[in-house]
Structure 1
Amino acid sequence: LIPVIIGICKKSGFKQTKLLMPLVFAAAMGGNISLIGAPGNMIAQAGLQQAGLGSFNFFDYGLVGLPILIVGTIFYATIGKRFLPDTPSHQPDGAFEGNDDYSHVPSWKKWTAAIILILTVAAMIFEKQLGVKLYVSAWVGALVLVATNVISESAAVRSIDMKTIMLFAGSMALGDAMVKTGTGSVIADIIVNSLGASPSPIVVLVVIFVLGVFMTNFMSNTATCALLVPIGLSLAAQLGFDPKAVLAAIVIASSLAYATPIGMPANTMVYNIAGYSFMDYVKAGLPLIVVSSIVALILLPILFPF
């Protein structure tokens, strides 16, 4: 959507600085609607499954994520827009100067791609009923696109983002190492000891949530999930809490990476394009973090009781 926003700004006269940052925030909030919305969502799912503690349903995160998206959108459409930077727009990055022309693509390819997309997402949503894993549905959908010549094999291979795959794989290995070496349990012990013998679930929720929000704004939100998931599982085991409730809090907290340009890849993508400064993210992102945190801390204990 970055080139779309740049095109809108060119034709309408709107400043890129007023639209690119809300685009990034919306993408981050929308990532919490489903299980496949962000890598951290799947990391928590994998951690839960590896521990033999069940799994999240496709739209479980959306119980909290959708209200955050709605409230966040209303906030930025009314009050939050005044926090957006009002600086001259830079020349767009060369990679985003033009939009691809898809007018030559045959209608049958467009319809086929749309149908396969809908069927693939439906298969993911009804994973348990069909007995087909998410990754199997995704690969089947991709293979059908190649088999029907909607996309060529070489184009399909080029579309695979190996950086994302390596980041996900490395994060999983890091989380697994924290479990097997006992690091997660040690950190969980420190948290438990600092909170007392039998801490209140609400206090634990707030501590985990604040820790996640702080960490995710200074490191990758995916890495934050990878670090906190084994700690959360150890905490849940020691205190007798529902692990799904703890991991849901970690996932939502890790997504609130709005206050720095390094909190998530999308922030970094628009950082140079719009000519933002570090403080622009702090001024625009911090209020949204506060609003999102209030919504999350109200809904999490209700929808995911410890």
Structure 2
Amino acid sequence: MTTEIGFVFAVLGITIALFISDKLRMDLVALMVVAVLAVSGIVTPAEAVSGFGNPTVVMIAALFVVGEGLFRTGVAAAAGNWLLKVGGGSEVRLLCFLLPVVALLSAFMSSTGAVALLIPVVLSMARRSGMQPSKLMMPLAFAALIGGMLTLIGTPPNIVVSGALKEAGLEPFGFFEFTPIGAAILLVGAVYLITLGRRLLPARTSEQQTDHCDVPGLMASYGVSGQLHKLVVQPLSPLKHQTVVEAALRSEHRVTLVGIRRSGTLLSSILPVLANTRLEVRDELWVYGQENDIERLCLSHRLTHYGSPAKEISRMGREFGVAEVMLPPGTPLQGQSIKEGAFRQRYGLSVIGLRRRCEPLDTDYRETRMEGGDTLLLAGSWERIRALEGRRDLVLLQTPAELGEIPVHGSRAPLALLVLAAMLVCMTAGWLPALTTVLLAALAMILTGCVSLPEALRSLNATSLILIAGMLPLALAMEKSGALAFVVEHLVSWLGGASPLLLSTGLFLLTSLLSQFISNTATTVLIAPIALTAAQLLGVNPEPLMMTVAIAASTAFATPIASPVNTLVLAPGNYRFSDFARVGIPLQLLALAITLVMTPILFPF
């Protein structure tokens, strides 16, 4: 062993130890690796930072933009709603639908692309269902990796081993020759992930979820939970043909009108525009108020009370929400009543709760006087709530997590779907290189208005990109120093005279181990010739050994740096390094067992 090989092994070992210890951020560790390699002389300084311009890193960055376009136009939320509907809100049922979907996508396109596109969908589902993303993200990544085993084009290692067979003058693997083994691993892997694997997953809230409270949480903190009601104007109601101002629901009846649905259409504007809207027969009035106030209003004004239908409230949540603001000290509103504050006229929002010194107050629209430092819960359209940002007369304290899921560019959804479809077709048909296709798709998302340039830049997950870019030079250092060749040579010397099945086991374990730390494509390029040579030495058919290498290269389950797919879900799932090993190693062993059983049957030695 040379000094350079020993140095690279030491860097690799220290890097893994730092990842496992979780004492430093993984992206910081990756930057430290870049710095150490740059001064080591094993790779040049240019090679040490080459990962930041690597096509894989650039493609992942572009896919973040494509995924953001799907999110901002509401396509991701719509897909999540469909999966939630068929999944019935059950974590197990949801995984039963989600895992085959992502595996099927990965069989015909980049698994990295499939996961990047589905991350916003899964995050949306998790938020709406109250599930923890940590229970969904890792199964999503693993199913995508297994999906790559299903077809010839599912993952680069499959193409590498098929090409190696052809170069050796043998018959290359067909498009679907990987399918039986891949399908068996997918079936067994899905069962494992849904049962035991799900129990091994951590129960953590993602960083995205901890940034905001949700609407129910905000309403509960103000003591107004369950106070949204649906009323319908009857033909003999005195409210018929009155404007909202004339109806005086807030001042006379302590009931706040926040929305009107007429002929099935929700009027998107609320007060002050709503103040001049005349109420009509059969209008659905959505109001906030105490149950007894609602009942008195219905009796005196001939309104039908439909209670608080959960499905319709959920639908209302796409149009209306709440936000928490604070009155700054010295505010002109100090000493004024809520009515005198004219929040509807100023902001187009209604006050539905007030807290003073962290305690909710029972407020009277005309009598309660506001003070500096009071916090108010405002209700209204999401558009009006977004308009609160940057105002100086109010301090915006909290917007609920639901605001992030409301489509900002909902009218562009058809264009986003068109861009997505074109990207998938181009990648599947191979008309353009994958990197070119994804870059064009990201650019199209921006040019068509599906996502703005600032939104696109904010969508780039720096942690994932830095981690991938920082670890690529380490793989290059292992190749240039001879560390990889050193490992492979010792494997051949140990197993060269062994039985074909034992050799297959050794090749699987070595390929899988190397794939946890360097590119599975680079690993396959290195191991495939060794497998061919070993087959010739033993006088056996090389196909089962080559198939074993290809399958093993896709079992990158044990570390977050094993594959860009794992790195993508690291931050959304709020995972630690050890989480992947705990869940991934048993899955690797299952894949090993299935491969050793099925490969000799389908491809006899």
TM-score of the two chains, using structure 2 as the length reference? 0.38
What does residue 430 of structure 2 align with?
138
What does residue 209 of structure 1 align with?
508
Question: SS where residue 192 of structure 2 aligns?
Answer: helix
Q: Are 1:286 and 2:585 an aligned pair?
A: yes
**Deviation sequence 1:30-73 (CA, Å, 0-9, x none):** 11000111111111122222222221100111121110001110
- CA distance change for structure 1 residues 293 and 141 in 2, over 3 Å: closer, same or farther? closer
What does residue 83 of structure 1 align with?
200
Given that 1:5 and 1:19 are in contact with CA atoms closer than 8 Å, whether structure 2 keeps it comes out as: yes
Q: Which moved more, 1:235-244 or 1:75-84?
A: 235-244
Whole-angstrom distance in 2 between the partners of 1:102 and 1:237:
60
Indicate the structure with greater helix content.
Answer: 1
Indicate the structure with greater strand content.
Answer: 2
Given that 2:496 and 2:537 are in contact with CA atoms closer than 8 Å, whether structure 1 keeps it comes out as: no
- CA distance change for structure 1 residues 141 and 103 in 2, over 3 Å: closer, same or farther? farther
CA drift at 1:243: 2.1
Whole-angstrom distance in 1 between the partners of 2:572 and 2:518:
21
Given that 1:258 and 1:285 are in contact with CA atoms closer than 8 Å, whether structure 2 keeps it comes out as: yes
CA drift at 1:196: 5.8
Question: SS where residue 174 of structure 2 aligns?
Answer: coil
**Deviation sequence 1:183-213 (CA, Å, 0-9, x none):** 98x987754442364x211111111111112
Gaps of 5+ in 2: 1-117, 210-403, 448-464
Counterpart amino acid of residue 176 in structure 2 = F
Superposed counterparts of 1:41-52, under 5 Å: 41-52=158-169
Whole-angstrom distance in 2 between the partners of 1:100 and 1:259:
38
Whole-angstrom distance in 2 between the partners of 1:43 and 1:202:
22
Q: Are 1:11 and 2:128 an aligned pair?
A: yes
Give the one of 140, 151, 157 matched to 1:40.
Answer: 157
Q: Which moved more, 1:24-33 or 1:243-252?
A: 243-252
Whole-angstrom distance in 1 between the partners of 2:511 and 2:408:
38
Q: Are 1:194 and 2:477 an aligned pair?
A: no
Whole-angstrom distance in 1 between the partners of 2:412 and 2:514:
46
Whole-angstrom distance in 2 between the partners of 1:275 and 1:79:
20
Whole-angstrom distance in 1 between the partners of 2:121 and 2:491:
45
Given that 2:496 and 2:503 are in contact with CA atoms closer than 8 Å, whether structure 1 keeps it comes out as: no
Given that 2:500 and 2:538 are in contact with CA atoms closer than 8 Å, whether structure 1 keeps it comes out as: no
Give the one of 531, 551, 560 matched to 1:232.
Answer: 531
Counterpart amino acid of residue 139 in structure 1 = W
Q: Are 1:73 and 2:372 an aligned pair?
A: no
What does residue 179 of structure 2 align with?
62
**Deviation sequence 1:227-266 (CA, Å, 0-9, x none):** 1112112222222222222110001111111110111111
Given that 2:146 and 2:554 are in contact with CA atoms closer than 8 Å, whether structure 1 keeps it comes out as: yes
CA RMSD of aligned residues (A): 3.8
Whole-angstrom distance in 1 between the partners of 2:558 and 2:588:
8
What does residue 126 of structure 1 align with?
none
Question: SS where residue 568 of structure 2 aligns?
Answer: helix
- CA distance change for structure 1 residues 278 and 101 in 2, over 3 Å: closer, same or farther? same
Aligned residues between the structures: 260
Question: SS where residue 91 of structure 1 aligns?
Answer: helix
Counterpart amino acid of residue 200 in structure 2 = F
Given that 1:216 and 1:263 are in contact with CA atoms closer than 8 Å, whether structure 2 keeps it comes out as: yes
Superposed counterparts of 1:76-225, under 5 Å: 76-91=193-208, 104=412, 117=425, 137-139=429-431, 155=444, 190-195=490-495, 197=497, 199-225=498-524
Q: Are 1:22 and 2:139 an aligned pair?
A: yes
**Deviation sequence 1:92-133 (CA, Å, 0-9, x none):** 7xxxx76796864669x95xx58x949x96xxxxxxxxxxxx
Counterpart amino acid of residue 6 in structure 1 = L
Given that 1:188 and 1:232 are in contact with CA atoms closer than 8 Å, whether structure 2 keeps it comes out as: no
Whole-angstrom distance in 2 between the partners of 1:8 and 1:59:
33
Whole-angstrom distance in 2 between the partners of 1:196 and 1:26:
34
What does residue 130 of structure 1 align with?
none
**Of the two structures, which has the highest relative contact order with CA contacts closer than 8 Å and spacing of 6 or more?**
1
Whole-angstrom distance in 1 between the partners of 2:589 and 2:492:
25
Superposed counterparts of 1:235-274, under 5 Å: 235-274=534-573
TM-score of the two chains, using structure 1 as the length reference? 0.71
Given that 1:85 and 1:284 are in contact with CA atoms closer than 8 Å, whether structure 2 keeps it comes out as: no
Instruction: Select the structure of larger CA radius of gyration.
Output: 2
Q: Are 1:275 and 2:600 an aligned pair?
A: no
Given that 2:504 and 2:545 are in contact with CA atoms closer than 8 Å, whether structure 1 keeps it comes out as: yes
What does residue 104 of structure 2 align with?
none
Whole-angstrom distance in 2 between the partners of 1:6 and 1:237:
50
CA drift at 1:278: 0.6
